[in-house]
Structure 1
Amino acid sequence: MEYDFKNAPDRSHTDSVKWDVKPGELPMWIADMDFKTAPEIIKAMKEKVSLGAFGYEWPQADYFNAVADWYEIEHGYRPQTNWMIFTTGVVPAISSIVRRVSHIGDNVLVQEPVYNIFYNSILNNGRHVLSSNLVFDGEHYSIDWTDLEEKLADPLTTLMIFCNPHNPIGKVWTKAEVQKIAQLCQKHHVVLLLDEIHGDLVRKGQGYTPAFSIEAKSNVISLVSPSKTFNVAALHAAYEEGHDWLKKLKQQLNENFDYVSQFIQENVPEVKVVSGDATYLMWINVQKVTDNSADFAAFLRKETGLIISAGSVYRGNGQDFIRINLACPLAMVKDGMKRLVEGIRKYSK
């Protein structure tokens, strides 16, 4: 089947969070794709709508088998269906798990810079954020294993939230790394909670390691969802028909990433792409332009209409970075890059 990755649906005036913008602005921030979702999903939804009844429902065995089939086909590991619990979303699940497995005043360990909503789920529930910051060497991020174990050994640390693959840096953790973190958590009686919502969006290289596939998983909770994969955050969708669409999507994302990487290298060499091989979110080092990514992001929007995410919201060394969403038609990507160059030149003056 042919899929359209060249045209973006017009979502202005539709209650879209991403597209609630002023005329002429270009939003490339929130993790929301500007592609129509898979036609197979749209077809299934039309069939459901045509029934004309929307009473109480609950997923049955066919749903959980579809999830298991998806992970076996896409990732080479089949989870047991009796491991699965249906929830209304990854973020509500994180907040519920924080309340259930930790206590008020406990430490919840994260690895900054990391997805900013983690902080809301921790702090809003009366827990403390404890970070074992990822180490950045100017090229890549890595784990400080000594620091991580020291903080896991803290008696007040009862839960660790691990982003796998990582948002915003796009890093795909190896199976050995996932296994080692799980073993350290097990050793120190810490529950390991993994946000694996970007697991299907590994664009190249090794695939991601689902938490259920490792050996030390007795204290592991994995959260997965099709919402990022198929851009159905406002829905609860099925897993059965999306394999071919996902393959074509990743081809388009790689084309977008390759274009931006080359464009930045040729036109604004003072900034540097640091992103890994996962997600559709590019992590860009703007340290030579600014040490205040929030100020720079506000300037970009005001001067060029380009809306991106300031890396500072992810903490860690995020003040030196911006995050740009490249899940949109290439024409929109090119427009965004022109605006970025214009903004950098104006800001540098």
Structure 2
Amino acid sequence: MKYDFDKITPRRGTNSYKWDSTDDKDVLPMWVADMDFQTAPCIINALKKRVDHGIFGYTRVPEEYYEAVISWFGRRHNWQPEREWVIYTSGVVPALSAIIKALAKEGDRILTLTPVYNCFFSSIRNNGCELSSCALRYENNAFSIDYDDLEHRAADPKTTLMLLCNPHNPSGRVWTREELQRIGDICIKHNVIVVSDEIHCEIVHPGYKYIPFASISEEFQKHSVTCISPSKAFNIAGLQIANIIVENEEWRQRIDKAININEVCDVNPFGVIATIAAYNEGGEWLDQLLQYIHANYLFFKAYCEEHLPQLPVAPLQGTYLAWMDCRQLGIPSEELEEELMKNAKLWLNAGSMYGREGEGFMRWNLACPRQFVKEGLERFSSFIKKR
């Protein structure tokens, strides 16, 4: 490989949320979804050039930014939104909150497939709306959609939006065209707007293909809002940049107003520069990153099959977040998280934070040098054997 993903870059003591949220220096953090790899050299070089200028005032977003976003999705994902459909903001979570504020009213129900990214719950709650949870089926260590329940919930007159996670966090599913088609058909039939969080869209494993929801048809594009960001793929979440793609002009105006009401309409110059560099020059680096993450997953899977066969790991189709079924241990997820922190010096995410359907599961972050994956597994396995 041209890029060295085995390299360990110390993060403790850098005010890293992942590494510095505990005072215990012996804890190995494999929880929050950022990577322990340095970002692409093209991004670092672009940022260094900007830092050398030495003035960091208010920034405007140039046309080059929009061109980079549109070109990337056209080249990589066969979807080329129009320039005027793009609204930039400081992150996907602020984007989701603004979209709910713009397109739903207090008391509306927001539909989603659970277990799901925990900030979906807070974005719904903070806007005075109610969660309508369609539980994913989990059978034979595989997740699928209960379309009967989905349609039942979409048909509820109080349901106005569906938050879709594509690819899905934490199950690791990459929804197929057929699955997305059925979701869209149900939502359009019942006049439910699909808001698709596609922040993990670049992290897809061999044999699977990310399909932008809005790319499926003109009708889907008109009845949906898409949230994207280079933050997960290029490990630049701290630069706080994301985009909302929406064709419907009326919705776009309402979302733009909500972004201003929520005061998330300004972005910093580093996020803009990093996005341009990532989308214009970062393809080769990303391709090699994906190879490394997939190899991490294969290592993780093989270890679990040999040493932890009683704890199945869901097939990882997308994201770098492995989902482990720990229900046979008979320990509530939050308690298991605490015990692992205390006794194994290992920090994982409790599955229960992603909804009641996640109880008994644990989420592992595999976006790190393989040495960390090996060490985390050994600590976990040793902890299990001692119980």
Deviations 1:46-102 (A, max 9, x none): 011111121222222211111111112222322222221111110001111111111
Matches within 5 A, 1:4-15: 4-15=4-15
User: d(CA) in 1 for partners of 2:361 and 2:375?
Assistant: 20
User: d(CA) in 2 for partners of 1:261 and 1:151?
Assistant: 35
Q: How many residues align?
A: 347
Partner of 1:312: 352
Shift of 1:178: 1.4
* Bigger mean CA deviation after superposition, 100-109 or 179-188: 179-188
Query: Which one of the candidate residues 150, 153, 160 is aligned to 1:151?
Result: 153
Which residue identity lines up with residue 13 of structure 1 in the other structure?
Answer: G
Query: Which one of the candidate residues 336, 345, 349 is aligned to 2:376?
Result: 336
Partner of 1:259: 299
Q: Which runs of 4+ in 1 moved over 3 A?
A: none
| SS of equivalent to 1:198 | coil
User: d(CA) in 2 for partners of 1:149 and 1:163?
Assistant: 17
Aligned residues of 1:275 and 1:284 also touching (Cα < 8 A): no
Give RMSD over aligned pairs: 1.2
Partner of 1:30: 32
Which residue identity lines up with residue 328 of structure 1 in the other structure?
Answer: C
| SS of equivalent to 1:85 | strand
List gaps (5 residues or longer) in structure 2: 240-270
User: d(CA) in 2 for partners of 1:58 and 1:184?
Assistant: 40
| SS of equivalent to 1:186 | helix
Query: Which one of the candidate residues 61, 64, 72 is aligned to 1:62?
Result: 64
User: d(CA) in 1 for partners of 2:228 and 2:174?
Assistant: 15
Relative contact order, higher structure (CA 8 A, sep 6+): 2
Which residue identity lines up with residue 34 of structure 1 in the other structure?
Answer: D
Partner of 2:242: none
Aligned residues of 2:70 and 2:82 also touching (Cα < 8 A): yes
Aligned residues of 2:167 and 2:175 also touching (Cα < 8 A): yes
Aligned residues of 2:205 and 2:316 also touching (Cα < 8 A): no
Shift of 1:224: 0.3
| 1:282 maps onto 2:286 in alignment | no
Shift of 1:8: 2.4
Partner of 2:192: 190
Query: Which one of the candidate residues 82, 107, 111 is aligned to 2:84?
Result: 82
Query: Which one of the candidate residues 335, 340, 357 is aligned to 1:295?
Result: 335
Shift of 1:291: 4.8
Partner of 2:42: 40
| 1:51 maps onto 2:65 in alignment | no
Partner of 1:19: 19
Partner of 1:93: 95
| SS of equivalent to 1:317 | helix
User: d(CA) in 2 for partners of 1:269 and 1:211?
Assistant: 36
Matches within 5 A, 1:87-236: 87-215=89-217, 216-235=220-239, 236=271
Which residue identity lines up with residue 332 of structure 1 in the other structure?
Answer: F
List gaps (5 residues or longer) in structure 1: none
